[in-house]
Amino acid sequence: MYNPLSIYTVIPWAIVFNVSEAALMMILDAVIGESFNDTVKGSLCLVLFVLNFTYIIYTVVIHFAVIANIRSAKLNAAEKREKLYPITFTDLFNLLISASLIWVWLFMTLYFFDQSMYTNVLVEANQPRTFYRVYFKFYAYALVAVNGGVTTLFPILTLSELAQGLGLLYFQIIVVLVLAGFLTYLLDAIKEA
């Protein structure tokens, strides 16, 4: 079993964490019912957003450290080391797919703490024991928002622009990591040919 905090892992931990957290929230809502109110949901969503976003930032930082170490390392001709790629396919899944999963927690936090700043698109979905409806609606909207679009989830222009800017910055960082990993792989393939 690989450590979830290691660089190279065969398990997409960020995706596993987010899917299991969503399932747990759905189960809690179904079991607890009306006592599982919007304040509790909002607080839990905020905690989950901070934890998951910290994990993804850790993954990004660790890969930039790997890239820096590759550049600064002086390899001896006599010394043979394993090839070290700055990103793996599992990490690509973590960064690309979990992006929308993570931002859902922030969007739901904003909704559960202050529903008055949203349109009424979720009023029918936000009933006791129907957390799954809210989650899936937010997931659909988050896919659009993280990719640089503006949805009805953002009635305040400033908040909308902030979400769009953060989404674009996030994907610019991912593109740098993906290109770095792909180019490193190509360079090694060319050297071996």
Rounded to 5°, the CA angle 138-15-123 comes to: 15
Task: State the Cα–Cα distance between residues 20 and 178, nearest whole angstrom.
Answer: 26
DSSP H stretches of helix in the chain: 13-32, 38-72, 89-113, 131-146, 157-192
Amino acid (1-letter code) at residue 77? A
Q: What is the pLDDT along the chain (193 residues), one digit of tens a residue?
A: 345 666 667 788 888 999 999 999 999 999 998 899 999 999 999 999 999 999 888 877 776 666 666 555 544 444 455 555 556 667 777 777 787 788 889 888 988 988 876 767 677 778 888 898 888 888 777 766 655 554 445 545 556 556 666 666 777 777 777 777 777 777 777 877 7
Question: What are 32's two structure tokens?
Answer: 């607890």
Q: Could you give the C-alpha distances from 57 to 98, 101, 108, in angstroms and in order?
A: 12, 14, 20
